[in-house]
Amino acid sequence: MSSDPKKILDKLKISGHLPTPKGVALQVIELTRQDSATNHDLVRLIGADPALSQRVVKAANALLGKVSRPVVTIHDAVTVLGMRALRQLVLGIALVADYRHGPCTRFDYTHFWYHSLLTAVAARLLAQQARLMAAEEIFVLGLLGQIGQLALATVYPQAFSDLLQAGIDEQQLRAGERAQFGFDHAEVSAAMLADMHFPVMFQQLARDYRTPQASETAEGTREWQLLRTLNLAALLADAWLADDAERPRPIRAVRRAAAELAVEEGALLELVAVCKNDVQQWVGLLGMGSLHLPDLVFAPAEETLPPDGDLPYTLSPHDYKMRVLLVEDDRAMRALVEHWLTAAGHRVSVAQDGAEALKMAELHRPQVVIADWNMPQMDGVALCRELRRLPQQRHVYLIVMTAAYTPDKQVEAFEAGSDDCLAKPLTPKLFFARLRAAQRVVQLQEELAFDREQLVRFSGELSAANKRLQQQALTDALTGLPNRRFAMDRLEQEWALTRRGDRALSCMMIDIDHFKSVNDRFGHQVGDEALKQVAETLRKTARAQDVVCRHGGEEFLVICPDAVAAAACQAAERMRLAVESLRMAAPDGQRVPLTISIGVAEKSGQAAAMHELVNRADDNLYAAKNQGRNRIVLNS
């Protein structure tokens, strides 16, 4: 059996019919092989084909979903996806468009691309949930992972058609291919991906994911998870495209693969629903006609409690009864361990995953947490780390259960904060021996728990008080705006940023016109209300990045980062008009006239110190007041 990708490709290329991208897509491959290729070159090349450009933009939006702003141009797509992912996406789209029909009579080209698309969409969703890799990359891998079948159907149409007997499975087909051609379609897929400059890991996944049991990928690694993810996605595609009578068999295979990946029934059903919806979008995007997907029915797994009977260990009246939180996503295992614990006299709470366990730990304050390693949302090791970070939960005795009981796994569990690690399947004798060790530790820790909780509570209260005091020290009590101290600190920060980079900085000094007469005429209570209304108006009409502060009395300082003088003046005019339009009335019904004068200054290259900027704004403010008030002055 040949395993040299170059030899396989050389043999297939002799025919001249090997499926390869054409036109712009082929030029994309050639371009990205050049070390000097830039994003700009790629954008210009793809943009030369309007139809391809439109599909690429739509595909990028479909892949990114709502996690990013909409992709409008090819430039947006390469910026968000990156050159490698965009190149892969272009190749996938081009191959789908160019090879929907062919000379192999028994090869169902439409079925092939539907299966590939279903695999790609499901793999993308699974990878997103598990955070295994970039969604757009595993999507393209799912789309092109079986490209070797298309190659054999194209290069050897008659010979490959003869192999496609009814009822033939994956292993039988690959054995026939090796006998006929000297290699199988999985090896061809890997070789073609290598020729297209896909990463080595992608080539290995394409070769092995339909027969993961035969893969040499180390169990538990990221590559192993990706392999199983692609396999589960392909099995879902098998189930969707199977005849009604044959569908139960691939559904059983889906359930087995999902269990190996710790994909719970609820998560699997949700994935199926989202996948069905996403596939319809992709079918339309790629112009593949219409595709009806049947509902996949997953019968619930049986859950049985263990039979009543004597346990190898029971609590005596003098033994310490503990509050235990059991965290296990497998219903049968959860029922078994819960039965052991309650029969032994412990008070048991149960959770299905780490996220739920964190909430229950806060409510029930367990003394022992027994958690499975592999769970959705948050696994047992992650739960250990989270509990150890919480001061009120650091004393909890943590036990992790795992079926992958290796020295490295034990070390990882202990380093995460676990106190013990149990191998699954559990044996009652060993389980209770380990639990007795937990009892001794819990009893000793319980003696110190109250004092520790008091210290933690005091520390939290002190921290909260310090934050309140800090906030009060930096906030003007009347207007709620940052005060002068905050303003000077913030302006100093912005000043430093302008010195490190080529950034603009402006500021405004604002004074309420004739404010003394407001106080004299209407009283200080009305004056205070006027200050508050002006402050709120300035805050609402300032730019989002501007910082409005009360400088003192009836004066306000506005810090305008990244603003040249013209932008600052434009913002100042909005503020002036907004204050002028205020309709404030005194208690006796008289209108309180409110206007402001504003001095604006921009940091110049000659400015040596921050205070010079403030002084120039202050000088411009006085110029505005001298010129009649209710105006803006930039350069006095």
**Per-residue burial over 189-204, b = 16 or more CB atoms within 10 Å of its CB, e = otherwise:** bbbbbbbbebeeebbb
3-state secondary structure 75-94: HHHHHHHCHHHHHHHHHHHH
Tokens of 298: 């997953």
Instruction: Tell me how far apart the alpha carbons of residues 403 and 71 are, in angstroms, rounded to a whole number.
Output: 44
pLDDT above 80: residue 3: no
* Residues 424-462: tens digit of each pLDDT: 757 677 888 889 889 888 888 777 766 767 787 888 888
Is 568 in contact with 600 (CB distance < 8 Å)?
A: yes
Determine what percent of the chain is predicted with pLDDT higher than 70: 86
Tokens of 424: 């699954």
Alpha-carbon distances of 76 from 67, 70, 90, 135, rounded to whole Å: 14, 9, 14, 17
Q: How confident is the model at residue 307 (pLDDT cuts 50, 70, 90)?
A: very low
pLDDT for res 472: 77
Q: What is the average pLDDT value for the chain, to the nearest integer?
A: 83
* Residues 255-303: tens digit of each pLDDT: 767 756 656 666 788 888 888 888 887 887 777 877 888 888 775 544 4
Is 557 in contact with 484 (CB distance < 8 Å)?
A: yes
Range with the lowest mean pLDDT among 72-81, 148-157, 305-314, 445-454? 305-314
**Which residue, 597, 582, 581, 600, is CA-closest to 629?**
597
Range with the lowest mean pLDDT among 118-127, 191-200, 408-417, 524-533? 191-200
Determine what percent of the chain is predicted with pLDDT higher than 90: 29
3-state secondary structure of 95: helix
* Residues 199-229: tens digit of each pLDDT: 888 899 999 999 888 888 876 578 888 898 9
Q: Which of the two residues, 224 and 549, has the higher pLDDT score?
A: 549
Which span out of 107-111, 267-271, 391-395 was modeled with the highest average pLDDT? 107-111
Q: Which of the two residues, 558 and 82, has the higher pLDDT score?
A: 558
Give domain 1-12+105-301's CATH architecture. Orthogonal Bundle (1.10)
> For the chain, how far is it from start to end, CA to CA, in angstroms?
87
Q: How confident is the model at residue 144 (pLDDT cuts 50, 70, 90)?
A: confident
Which runs of consecutive H residues, i.e. helices, occur in 474-609?
Answer: 484-500, 515-522, 524-541, 565-580
DSSP string, 209-230: TTSGGG--PPTTSHHHHHHHHH
Tokens 């007997």 correspond to what residue? 165
Average pLDDT over every residue of 473-498: 90
3-state secondary structure of 181: helix
Is 380 in contact with 401 (CB distance < 8 Å)?
A: yes
pLDDT for res 310: 47
3-state secondary structure of 159: helix
Q: Look at the alpha carbons of 90, 19, 278, 265 in this order and tell me if their dihedral is positive or negative.
A: negative
**Which residue, 504, 522, 477, is CA-closest to 601?**
504
Instruction: Tell me how far apart the alpha carbons of residues 346 and 74 are, in angstroms, rounded to a whole number.
Output: 62
CA angle 567, 571, 572 (to 5 degrees): 115
Q: Which of the two residues, 617 and 143, has the higher pLDDT score?
A: 617
Q: Look at the alpha carbons of 46, 50, 52, 58 in this order and tell me if their dihedral is positive or negative.
A: positive
CATH 1.10.1060.10 holds for 323-452: no
Same fold, 1-12+105-301 and 323-452: no
Alpha-carbon distances of 472 from 439, 466, 468, 521, rounded to whole Å: 48, 10, 6, 31
pLDDT for res 332: 58
pLDDT above 70: residue 517: yes
Q: Which of the two residues, 213 and 21, has the higher pLDDT score?
A: 213
CB under 8 Å to 323, separation ≥6 — which residues?
Answer: 346, 347, 349, 364, 365, 366, 367, 368
- Residue 148 CB neighbours (<10 A): 27
Range with the lowest mean pLDDT among 116-120, 483-487, 608-612? 608-612
Instruction: Tell me how far apart the alpha carbons of residues 552 and 521 are, in angstroms, rounded to a whole number.
Output: 21
Instruction: Tell me how far apart the alpha carbons of residues 182 and 205 are, in angstroms, rounded to a whole number.
Output: 20
pLDDT for res 533: 94
pLDDT for res 66: 56
pLDDT for res 314: 55
Instruction: Detail the DSSP E strand segments found in 208-331.
Output: 323-327
Tokens of 484: 């002068």
pLDDT above 50: residue 306: no
Q: Which residue pairs from 249-255 have beta carbons closer than 8 angstroms and sit at least 24 positions apart in sequence?
A: 251/296, 251/297, 251/298, 254/296, 254/298, 255/298
Is 191 in contact with 147 (CB distance < 8 Å)?
A: no
Q: What is the topology classification, in CATH, of domain 484-633?
A: Alpha-Beta Plaits (3.30.70)
Question: What are 204's strand-pairing partners?
Answer: none
Tokens of 92: 């996938």
CB under 8 Å to 393, separation ≥6 — which residues?
Answer: 361, 387
Range with the lowest mean pLDDT among 51-65, 110-124, 545-559? 51-65
* Residues 556-610: tens digit of each pLDDT: 999 999 999 999 999 999 999 999 999 899 888 889 999 999 999 998 876 668 8
Question: What are 423's strand-pairing partners?
Answer: 402
* Residue 448: burial class (beta carbons within 10 Å; 0-12, 13-18, 19+): exposed
- Residue 415 CB neighbours (<10 A): 11
pLDDT for res 219: 62
Instruction: Detail the DSSP E strand segments found in 29-156.
Output: none
pLDDT for res 75: 76
pLDDT above 60: residue 466: yes
Domain locations in the chain? 1-12+105-301, 20-98, 323-452, 484-633
* Residue 347: burial class (beta carbons within 10 Å; 0-12, 13-18, 19+): middle
